[in-house]
Amino acid sequence: MTRLHALVLAGLAVLSVSCGPKEKVVKIAVAVPLTGDMGTEGQGLRRAVELAVEEANAAKRFPHRLVAEPFDDRADPKEAVNVANLIISDPRIIAVVGHYNSGCAIPAAKVYARAPVAMISPAATNPEVTAQQLSSDWSGPRMAFRVVQTDDVQGSYAAEFAFKRLGKRRVSLLHDKTPYGQGLAEQFKKVFLRLGGGIVTEDGVAVGDKDFKALLTKIKGGGSGSEGIYFGGLYTEAGLLLKQMRELGMKDPFVFISGDGAKTSGLFDVAGDAADGAYLSIVGVPVEDLPSAKTFMEAYKKRWTGAGEELKPFDHFGYEASRIVFAAMEKGATDRAKMIEELRKTDFTGVLGLTRFDEKGDTLNKIVTMTRAKAKDRTFDSLR
Amino acid sequence: MHFEQHFQQIVNGLTLGAIYSLIALGYTLVYGILAMINFAHSEVLMLGSFAALGLAVFAPTFFGASPLGLAALFAVSMAVAGLVNVLVERFAYRPLRTISRLAPLISAIGVSIVLQNAVFLWISTQALSFPQPGVSGQVSIFGASISALQLVILGAALGLMALLHFFVEHTKMGKAMRACADDFATAGLMGIDANKVIAITFFVGGALGGAAGVLYGMNYGSIKYNLGFLPGTKAFTAAVLGGIGNIRGAVLGGFILGFLEVLASGYIPDGAQWRDVIAFTVLIVVLLVRPSGLLGEKTAEKV
C-alpha cells in the first residue's frame, strides 16, 4: 500500500465515522390516537412513553440511544392498520406500545404478528385483543400483551357494584356498537342476569350521534321501571347521554354507570354539571391512589408542564409498558423475536405493582376500582 | 308508556325537527334562486355556534341569562353567519356562476373543507363546552313535565320561521326574491338587481343557519369543528324531502325527519341503531313516488 493510498483510506475512514450514524438507535413505536376525539388521551400516552425513554437515556441504561416514535392511528381501525404496516417496515423498531382503542388494537395486532413484533397495549380492554391469538387461523407467534385488565373484569365488576352496592335490580343497557363498548355491555349483562337482575332495554347508539332524547324518553317510560343505565362507550356519547338524561329529569336515584372510556376530564366538558354523580369504573387503581406511582407522577408533572399536558387516565399504563420493554431489553432482548420471548417471561414490579402475563398475554394483575364523578371539582373520587 | 312519555316524545320530535327545518331553509332559499346546493351551509351553521361561544367567553356579562342578552347573542351570531355566507357567495360562487353548473358546487365543497379546517387548526380540535342559557329543569304542561330548554329552542325556531315568512311574503325584497326564484332572467329584465337579491338571500339563509348553530350548541351543550356535517346532511335531506326550493317544503321536511328519528329510536325496539336507516328509507320511498319532493312543483327543464 502506498502512502497516498493509506492517506485516502484513513480519510475515508474518518469520513465514514463522521457522516454515518453517530450512534445506534433503538426505537419504540407509540401507536395511539394523536388527533381527533381521543387525541388528548393518546397525547398523554405519548408523553408518558417519552418520559420513560428520556429517563432510560439519562441513566445510560443501554449502549444505544432509545427513541419513542409516535404514530397517529386517529382511533380509526383502518388508519391503525396503515400505521402498523409503517411500523413493521422500520427495522429499528423493537416493540410497540399501543393501541389505545380495542377497535384499533385488534386489526393492528394481526399486522404485527406478520413481522413479528411485540405489541403491549396500555389501554385496549376488549378480550379479543389477546384472545384472537388463540384462534386456529392466527398466523405468527403470540405477540400481543397488555398491562390493562380486560372488559370482562371491568363489566363484571360494574354489574356486581350495581347489584350489590347500589341495590339496583332493573337496568337499561346502552353501548356504542364498538368492540370496546359492546364488550363491556355484554359482560355487564351476563353477570347482572346471573346475579338475578333484569335488563329492561338494550340499545346500540352510533359514535357521533348527538340526540339521545327519544331513546332516553323510552327508557324513562319503560313500563317495567328502569333504575339506571349502564353504558359501554366513550366520553363524548356518555357526556351527551348524561346531559340529556338530566334534562329529561332522570336524576338520583336513577344511576348512570359506565367504564374507563368515559372517565376523563372531557366528560365534564361535554356534560358540564350533568356529569355529577355518574359512576365510572376504571381498570387498576387511579394513579393518585397508587403509592408506587408517586415518583412517576412527580417526574411527569416536572417534565410536562404545558397547557393540556396534565396526566391522563392511562398514562401510567403507557409508562409501565415502556419500562417492561426496557426490562426485557436488559435481559437480552436485542431483536424483535427475542423481545417477544422475553416479554412472555415478564416478572416486573413497577408503578402498577407486580406484572406478569398469562398465556394469552393478559396481565395477571386484575383490580378494578369504581369512581364517582364530582362536577364541581372536575374529579373522580374512588369508592372503597 | 303513558301520556307523559308520548308528550315528551312529541316535544323531542318537534325540537329536533325545528333545528333541521331552520338549517333546511338555508339550503332551500339558495337553491330556489340559483338552483345550486350550498354545501358550505353546514360550516356556516358551525361558525354561528362558534361566534356565540366567542361572545359568551369574551363578553360574559353581556350574554347573561337575561332574555335580552340571549336575544343579543342570537342577533350577533346570526349576523356573523349571514355575513360569512354573503362573502362565500361573493368570492367563491359568483365568479363561477356563468361558467357551469358544476363549478360552484365543487367550489362549495372546497369552502366547506377550508372553513372546517380553519376552525380545527386555529380554534380547537376538541369539543368545547357551550354555556347554558340559564334555562334548565322542567316545566309542567298538561300534567307532563317537559324539558324547559327544549321549549325555548322550539319557540326560538318557530319565531324565526314566522319572521322569514313575513319577510318573503310581505316585503318588497321578499317579493324580489320570489320573482328571482320564479324566473331569474326575466326578473333581471324587470329591473331587479339580481346580485343584490342573491346576496340578501345568502344573508338570510346564513343567518338562519347561524341561529340553528346557537340552538344546536344550547341543545347539546358542546360544540366542535365538525358539528355541522351531520345536521347539515340531515337538513339537506329534509329540504329534498319537502321539495328543495320550496320554503314550506323545507319546514315540513325538517319536522317529518325529526319525527321519523324520534319514532325510530323511541318506539321501535332496538331502533336507535336503525334510526338513520329508517329515516333514509322513507326518504327514498317518498322520492320514488314524488321525485320533486312532497311540496315541490314539477318544473320544466330550465333552458
Domain boundaries, chain A: 25-149+289-366, 152-283
- Strand ranges for chain A from DSSP E: 25-32, 65-72, 93-98, 118-121, 144-146, 170-175, 198-204, 228-232, 255-258, 279-283, 348-350, 353-355, 368-374, 379-383
Q: Render each residue's pLDDT in chain B as its tens digit; 303 residues.
A: 577 788 888 889 999 999 999 999 999 999 988 888 999 999 999 999 999 998 888 877 666 567 778 888 889 999 999 999 999 999 999 999 888 888 988 999 999 999 999 998 888 877 888 877 666 667 777 766 677 888 888 998 999 999 999 999 999 999 999 998 888 888 888 888 888 999 999 999 999 999 999 999 988 888 989 899 989 999 999 999 999 888 999 999 999 999 999 988 888 877 778 888 888 888 889 889 888 888 877 554 444
Q: How far is the alpha carbon of A266 from chain B, nearest alpha carbon, in Å?
A: 8
pLDDT for res A57: 95
Closest among A108, A85, A148 to A369, alpha carbons compared: A148
Put simply, the chain B residues between 112 and 141 with a CB less than 8 A from any chain A CB are 125-129, 132, 136, 138
Q: In what order do the strands lie in the sheet with A279-283?
A: A198-204, A170-175, A228-232, A255-258, A279-283, A368-374, A379-383
How high is the pLDDT of residue B303?
40
Counting one residue from chain A and one from chain B, the pairs whose CB atoms sit within 8 A come to: 107
Domain A25-149+289-366 shares a fold with domain A152-283? yes
> What does pTM read for this prediction?
0.79
Question: A203, B16: Cβ pair inside 8 Å?
Answer: no
**B13 contact residues in A (CB cutoff 8 A):** 214
Q: Is CATH 3.30.1510.10 correct for A152-283?
A: no
Look up cell 403507557; give the residue.
A318
A25-149+289-366: CATH homologous superfamily? Response regulator (3.40.50.2300)
Q: Distance between CA atoms of A57 and A62, rounded to whole angstroms?
A: 7
Domain-wise residue ranges, chain B: 22-228
Contacts of B221 in chain A (CB under 8 A): 239-240, 243, 270-272, 274
Return phi, psi of residue A29, to 5°. Answer: -80, 135
Q: Cα(A72)–Cα(A42) distance, rounded to whole angstroms?
A: 8
Core vs surface per residue A208-247: b (16+ CB within 10 A) or e = ebbbbbbbbbbbbbeeeebbbbbbbbbbbbbbbbbbbbbb
Nearest CA in chain B to A247: B147
Q: pLDDT tens per residue, chain A (384 residues)?
A: 455 565 555 555 544 444 445 578 999 999 999 988 788 899 999 999 999 999 999 999 999 999 999 999 999 999 999 999 999 999 999 999 999 999 999 999 999 999 999 999 999 989 999 999 999 889 889 999 999 988 888 899 999 999 999 999 999 999 999 888 999 999 999 999 999 999 998 999 988 888 999 999 888 876 668 999 999 999 999 999 999 998 888 888 899 999 988 998 889 988 988 999 999 998 877 788 888 888 999 999 999 988 778 898 899 999 999 999 999 999 999 899 999 999 999 999 989 888 999 999 999 988 888 999 999 999 999 887
Helix, strand, or coil here: B184?
Answer: helix
Place of cell 359492546: A182
E strands along chain B, which residues?
A: 128-129, 138-141, 144-147, 222-223
